[in-house]
Structure 1
Amino acid sequence: MKGDQKLIDCLNARLAEELAAINQYFVHAEMCENWNYERLGDVIEKRAITEMRHAEKLIERILFLEGRPIVSNLSEIRIGDQVPKMHDHDHWAEEGAIKGYNQAIRLATELGDNDTKVLLESILKEETEHIDWIEAQMDQINQIGVQNYLAQQIYE
């Protein structure tokens, strides 16, 4: 099915965000594991895998619309050198993704592409869950202090 080029371009922009998020989150997960914050590293790694699934779904949809998935473009990647900065950078990435998915949903709706809209809404729901979790972590750091927060991230 030949899709609208504006929508294909928009999906490729979301793909660039997902591919960047995968890289950012995997680096953050590995850094946490290197610092022995295994609990936090495990959660961030699972988020990276979820972003991989998002990228896969976007690629499938772009191909269905007879577009060409562009996997060589990445959005900006921000690596934090401390856990609070990691959460800040991951929050920034999720904010951008949520804004982009809302824009893509509006475009799919305008174009009457309900299947793409439903796909984008399902991804948006997961991105919203991601940002909610990150905000909860940031709140915990503010409430109990970074040292107490980090102590909870170590498996014993």
Structure 2
Amino acid sequence: MKGKKSVISRLNKLLVGELVAADQYFVHSRMYQEWGLQKLYERIDHERMDELEHADLLIRRILFLEGTPDISKRPGPNIGKDVPSMLKNDLDYELAVIAELKEVIAHCEGPKRTMTAAASCSTILEETEQDHTLWLEQQLGLIARMGLQNYIQSAAGDIAQGAS
């Protein structure tokens, strides 16, 4: 099915965003793991896998529309140096992706409807992006309320978990 160039272009922009997010989460998750923050490692690694699933969904949609996935204009991830900056960078990225998703959905639901692409983007928006954004906001709120050291202690999980 031949798709509209404007839709394919927007889907490619989302694809780049999902892959950059996956890269950022990959690095952050491994940093958490190295620091012994098992709970953060597990959550962010799970988010990384979700981002790759989103990328897969977008690639399949682009190919279905007879487009070519284009990740040539891929910026680098924004890697934090400590737990608060890592969570903040992840939140900032998620908020940017949410804005892009909403723009693509609005475009696809416009006069020249492309409802399947809109549905794919809505799925990403509703199921994961907003959930992850809420979780990141909660984590930053916990740091503000309980202090960084207490938060880090709670994020470490069971000490035996990290030993293998």
**Correspondence 1:154 to 2:121:** no
Q: How many residues align?
A: 156
Could you report, residue by residue, the CA deviation over 1:45-94 in whole angstroms, capped at 9, with x for unpaired residues?
00000000000000000000000001333244100010000011001100
Give runs of aligned pairs for residues 17-36 of structure 1, distance below 5 A. 17-36=17-36
| Residue 38 of structure 2: aligned partner | 38
Unaligned 5+ residue runs, structure 2?
Answer: 159-164
| Residue 15 of structure 2: aligned partner | 15
Secondary structure (helix, strand or coil) at the match of 1:81 reads coil
Whole-angstrom CA distance in 1 between matches of 2:72 and 2:21: 14
| Residue 89 of structure 1: aligned partner | 89
Whole-angstrom CA distance in 1 between matches of 2:157 and 2:15: 34
**Correspondence 1:78 to 2:64:** no
Give runs of aligned pairs for residues 96-135 of structure 1, distance below 5 A. 96-110=96-110, 111-125=112-126, 126-135=128-137
Whole-angstrom CA distance in 1 between matches of 2:147 and 2:48: 26
Whole-angstrom CA distance in 1 between matches of 2:96 and 2:75: 10
Could you report, residue by residue, the CA deviation over 1:112-150 in whole angstroms, capped at 9, with x for unpaired residues?
111111111000111011100000000000000000000
Whole-angstrom CA distance in 1 between matches of 2:114 and 2:75: 25
Whole-angstrom CA distance in 2 between matches of 1:76 and 1:131: 20
C-alpha RMSD of matched pairs (Å) = 0.9
Task: Name the % identity.
Answer: 35
Whole-angstrom CA distance in 1 between matches of 2:23 and 2:76: 10
Whole-angstrom CA distance in 1 between matches of 2:92 and 2:75: 12
TM-score scaled to structure 1, two decimals? 0.97
